[in-house]
Amino acid sequence: MVFSERMRKASLEKRSRIVLGLDLKPDLPENLMSKALKILDEVCDEICGIKVNLHLIIPLGFNELKEIVDKAHVHNLQAIADLKLNDISATNVVATKILWDIGFDAVICNPFVGFEEGLGPCIQEAHSKDRGIITLTYMSHKGAVEGYGLDVLKGGVSVKMYDLFIERAVEWNVDGMIVGATNPSIIKYVRARVKDIPIFSPGIFVQGGDPREAVRAGSDYLIVARAIIESNNVKVSAREIKNMTW
């Protein structure tokens, strides 16, 4: 079963669109491990996946990350590595091989690097292993307009940078697109142009994104981190967001 199908299956089983971002504050590796595993056990019934970024990937080792990913799989959750890969293919393929060996189901990449000798070999290898590639389209922070919202020329016509990234997502047959929940109008624009690639939307609450607006605009999954992991009760917070968007 390919990643997008596993993701959809987990979402339907859990009746949840939430991908939990384990963006824990800096701490000793052993403390990060115990916190991550504890949170996973508490919210596993309210989410459909987890996203692990540099908050954990830098301080933790292979075995520690594998334990977190294995725990996610025990709870029937998909595990996404958020590295925003943006390098030449020789480096990208090495990085993703390690991530696949850890057990990650998908990785977030930056389409700016291009296909040939960029993300192309990475995508091909991922699909050969039923893993997923999720590409950035428009991020959730205010400065996204300075890059993803740039006006660029294509064939003498002015388009937005994210227009190019939408086209690349389709042409490259990626498994998901990142579009910030802070820009529901762009989510709606992307969904109108792309019907069959899942949209993952970060930026819920803390950055100003409204989960209900994001879903109405066309988001399939909501990446939620601080609004859950920094709350007084992670399970209750996750359940509230789950219930308002299912």
pLDDT of 77-93, one tens digit each?
999 999 999 999 999 99
Q: Rounded to the nearest 5°, which phi and psi values hold at 184?
A: -60, -30
Strands 157-160 and 151-154, how do they pair?
antiparallel
What are the structural domains, with CATH classification, of the chain? 3-245 (3.20.20.70)
Query: Quick check: pTM over 0.95?
Result: yes
Q: pLDDT grade, residue 20 (50/70/90)?
A: very high
**Among residues 147, 143, 146, 111, which one has the least CA distance to residue 207?**
143
Q: Mean pLDDT throughout 203-227?
A: 96
Q: What pLDDT score was predicted for residue 103?
A: 99
Mean pLDDT within 147-163:
91
Segment 175-187, tens digit of pLDDT: 999 999 999 999 9
Q: What is the pLDDT of residue 155?
A: 85
C-alpha span between 18 and 46 (Å, rounded): 7
User: Which of 9, 71, 84, 235 is an active site residue?
Assistant: 84
242 labelled catalytic? no
* Burial of 76: CB neighbours in 10 Å, binned 0-12, 13-18, 19+: middle
- Place 154 in a pLDDT band, splitting at 50, 70 and 90: confident
Mean pLDDT of 197-212: 95
- Taking residue 129's Cβ as centre, other Cβ atoms within 10 Å add up to 13
Q: What one-letter code names the amino acid at 49? A: G
